[in-house]
Amino acid sequence: MEQQGLQELFGRNGNGPLSGVVVADFSRVLAGPYATMMLADLGATVIKVEGPTGDDTRHWAPPRREDDATYFLTANRNKHSIVLDLKEPDDLALAQELAQRADVLVENFKAGGLAKYALDYDSVQATNPGIVYASVTGFGPNNPQPGYDLLIQGLSGFMSVTGSAETGPVKAGVAIVDVFTGLHTTVGILAALAHRKDTGQGQLVETNLLSSALSGLANQTSAYVAGGVTPQPMGNEHPSLYPYHPIPTAEGEIIIAIGNDNQFRALAKVLGHPEWAGDDRFAKNADRNDNRAQLEPLLVAALSEKTNQEWFEILSAAGLPCAPINTIAQGVELAAELGLDPVAEAGAGERVIPTVRNPIGLSETPVSYDLAPPQLGESTDLVKQWLRSGEGSAR
């Protein structure tokens, strides 16, 4: 089946850069599904294989939108759901056939967990040598311990630098490690597809939550690896920049993010204290870091004269990076005011679901939102029809 025919069969209307690529999605929860949704948004045909009770996140509620858990809706638009019980011989045969026909396979079973079904990389690659096989684990391919985002936030050190001395370690308000890992997995898959286009060779792509967390900790991990420094919790403050944190005003707090000495001079002038920029304690970033205790009360006193919204307008007009602390609702509303269209309706007909817009803009091959997050097993018959037809992928 040619690319256009495959797109029509599976209800995709766009001309995304991955149009015609078939993804067998054996992942669940967030890291894997987030990666496969990125691929689906870019035009890939993603067939989500679910067990009889479905992806765990179908049951992670509240909140809900009618009968759907919003957690599931987060990472599953533009996909087709097929229900297969891998313990049943007929269903397992269909799963193996899907793996043989796919261009990409994504799985996040426990390390080695798919070998007993002959759905591990070696087994699939033996019959589908062009397969790009992405395996997402908690701790790497040699450790079968299950990995959950919260566990990795604790084990990686993430929580140790997210809290403060008063609060103790604090987790992020979102499964940030899963999102890191999903994005890393997407990048790995795209790189492998580019390699396959040039050589015809598939390959194994491996990511794990712990490594993604350490990479995502960026300057904090580098402080230890390159500098021998173990970062400590600093609450909302930054280890290398000051001021770079929320500061109280007459009403509410205002985040001020000063990244260089020129910005600090401008801030001092706007606050009515240009002399701060000539003070040896504050003139240079290193000096401000060393003298936080002296500068903080001066900033608080100056900012106490107006509300956070008033300062937001004044400082923004002066070109200084600042922000009030919004709710999620206010963040979405701000994006809408800025013309970023943060909400994209996915699907058509009777099932249309508002979802968060993919942040990638492509001038020639834009992302599409053809399919709402699927109801459990809604495409089982369609996928079986395609498998039995013997047409299309693997390429």
- 253 and 367 co-located in one domain: no
From 297, 326, 355, the end of a domain falls on 326
The pLDDT value recorded for residue 11 is 80
Length of the chain: 395
Tokens of 28: 């669940």
Residue 239 in domain:
no
Say what the pLDDT of residue 111 is: 86
The Cα-based distances of 395 to 100, 120, 131, 134, 159 in angstroms read 10, 20, 9, 17, 44
pLDDT higher than 90, residue 129: yes
Rounded Cα distance between 71 and 233, Å, is 30
Average pLDDT score over residue span 231-252: 94
What digits encode the pLDDT tens for the residues 317-359? 999 999 999 999 999 999 999 999 999 999 999 999 999 999 9
pLDDT for res 390:
72
pLDDT value at 1 more than 60 = no
E strand or H helix at 384 = helix 380-389
pLDDT band at 3; cut points 50, 70, 90? low
Predicted confidence (pLDDT) at residue 228 exceeds the cutoff of 80? yes
Say yes or no to pLDDT of 257 above 60: yes
Span 257-262, average pLDDT? 96
193-219: average pLDDT: 97
Task: Tell me if 357 is assigned to some domain.
Answer: yes
Q: How confident is the model at residue 146 (pLDDT cuts 50, 70, 90)?
A: confident
pLDDT at 10: 87
CATH of the domain at 269: 3.30.1540.10
Token output for 273: 């204290």
Q: Is residue 212 part of a domain?
A: yes
The 8-class DSSP code of residue 376 comes to T
Residues facing 353 on adjacent strands: 346
**In this structure, which amino acid lies at residue 147?**
G
Position 236 in a domain:
no
Q: Is the pLDDT of residue 395 over 70?
A: no
Among 8-17, 171-180, 235-244, 281-290, the minimum mean pLDDT is found in 8-17
Helix (H) or strand (E) holding 64: strand 64-65
Mean pLDDT of 311-316: 96
Q: What average pLDDT does this structure show over 292-306?
A: 97
CA distances (Å), origin 239, targets 131, 146, 231? 44, 33, 8
Confidence (pLDDT) at 119: 98
State whether 23 and 127 are in the same domain.
Answer: yes
> Is residue 46 included in any domain, yes or no?
yes
In this structure, the answer to whether residues 251 and 370 fall within a common structural domain is: no
**Which is it for strands 79-83 and 104-107: parallel, antiparallel or unpaired?**
unpaired
Q: 309-348 burial, b for 16+ CB within 10 Å, e for fewer?
A: eebbeebeeeebebbbeeeeeeeeeeeeeeeeebebebbe
Nearest-angstrom CA–CA distance, 18 and 103: 11
Contacting residues for 343 by C-beta, under 8 A, at least 6 apart: 332, 336, 354, 355, 356, 357
The CA distances from residue 171 to 27, 146, 156, 160, 177, in Å, are 24, 19, 12, 9, 11
What total of structural domains would you count in the chain?
2
Domain membership of residue 169 as a residue range: 3-218+340-389
Counting residues of the chain whose pLDDT is more than 90, the rounded percentage is: 90
Q: The domain that contains 53 carries what CATH number?
A: 3.40.50.10540
For the residues 200-226, what does the mean pLDDT come to? Answer: 97
27 and 147 in a single domain? The answer is yes
Q: 70 with 155, same domain?
A: yes
Instruction: Say which range, 198-202, 309-313, 374-378, 384-388, has the weakest mean pLDDT.
Output: 384-388
Residues 259 and 173 in one domain: no
Number of C-beta neighbours around residue 154 at 10 A: 14
Domain assignment of residue 319, yes or no:
yes
Mean pLDDT of 282-287: 95
H or E stretch including 104? Answer: strand 104-107
Report the percentage of the chain scoring pLDDT > 70. 97
Mean pLDDT over all residues of the chain?
Answer: 94
Say yes or no: 213 and 156 in one domain.
yes
Model-wide pTM > 0.95:
no
pLDDT (0 to 100) of residue 388: 84
Indicate the range of 3-17, 246-260, 358-372 predicted with least confidence. 3-17
| C-alpha neighbours within 13 Å on the C-beta side of residue 155 | 16
Q: Are residues 178 and 209 in the same domain?
A: yes
For Cα atoms 205, 206, 208, give the angle at the middle one, nearest 5 degrees.
150
Asked if the structure places residue 334 within a domain, the reply is no
List residues with catalytic annotation: 178
Residue 261 shares a structural domain with residue 197: no
Confidence label for 393 from pLDDT (cuts 50, 70 and 90): low
Residues 170 and 312 in one domain: no
- Rounded to an integer, what distance in angstroms lies between the CA atom of residue 295 and that of residue 279? 10
DSSP letters, 220-287, are HHHHHHHH-------TTS-SS-SSEEEEE-SSSEEEEE--SHHHHHHHHHHTT-GGGGG-TTTSSHHH
For range 174-183, the mean pLDDT = 97
Q: How far is CA 284 from CA 30, 302, 318, in A?
A: 43, 20, 20
In a domain, 263, yes or no: yes
Question: Looking at the DSSP assignment, which residues form a beta bridge with residue 206?
Answer: 135
pLDDT (mean) for 10-20: 86
Listed residues 275, 291, 326: the one ending a domain: 326
The CA distance from 94 to 383, in Å, is 10
State the pLDDT confidence band at 144, using cuts at 50, 70 and 90.
confident
Please indicate, yes or no, whether residues 98 and 185 belong to a single structural domain of this protein: yes
Helix axes 31-41 and 176-199, enclosed angle (nearest 10)? 50
What residues form DSSP beta bridges with 324? 254
Check whether residue 10 and residue 75 sit in a common domain. yes
Cβ neighbours of residue 199 closer than 8 Å, sequence gap 6 or more:
none
| pLDDT band at residue 259 under the 50/70/90 scheme | very high
